[in-house]
Structure 1
Amino acid sequence: MWELNIFITLLLAIFILMAGSGIGSAAEIIVHSGESIQAAINNATEGDTIIVEPGTYHEDITVDTQDLIIKSKSGNPDYTKFTGHFGIGFMNTNLGTIFDGFTLQGNYSAILKEKA
């Protein structure tokens, strides 16, 4: 009987380790044409990658999450265009955000705000 208890305990421990193995890993979030990049940023956590499909995106974006990668799916800036204001983080904060593979049109200067 105790052998069965040990077996069940070991099986349960293995199951818990397998179930918890994905905790804390970075996610990949896809933004389809017509969807909001800001919504993806708001749902992202540190270390996530946001992949933006080709299209033109008209919105204001603020990034306050550390270590995000925001990149176009094609990698070709001619296929993925961004218009609007773009701000990364708070002053005196190193967010480590990467924004790659986009054509920036309009007012695209970084807007840094004082942390409240």
Structure 2
Amino acid sequence: MKKVFILMLGLVASTASFANSSVPHTTVAQTRVVMTSDQKIRLFVQPLHTKGQLAIRDANGQAVYTSTVSLQKGLSQQLDCSNLGTGTYRLTLTTGDETITKTFVMQANPNQSFVVQ
């Protein structure tokens, strides 16, 4: 099962880096999200001259976490998701008219939790 998790994480990382290769460096699309084996999400965003609204929403669209973040120097933030129940969640980062959404799944076994997109 650990090999499947590593494979899925590798596929997500390779897809994300391929998708970002042709995007200008001034967009929120230069965001990387990684789920660790201890149910934490690492969020990396390139420097932008704006603030952003960060939110985690459950499958029903209810916000379980919101925060306004400064992106002037970029963002490297770790979010502890161990208190979230099993299910599908969406992490969104909104800056002005741009929004990036990453879906992640929390499993009962932390080693099986993963980022979908």
Larger Rg: 1
Larger RCO (CA within 8 A; separation ≥ 6): 2
Higher percent of residues as helix: 1
Higher percent of residues as strand: 2
TM-score if structure 2 supplies the norm length?
0.24
TM-score if structure 1 supplies the norm length?
0.24
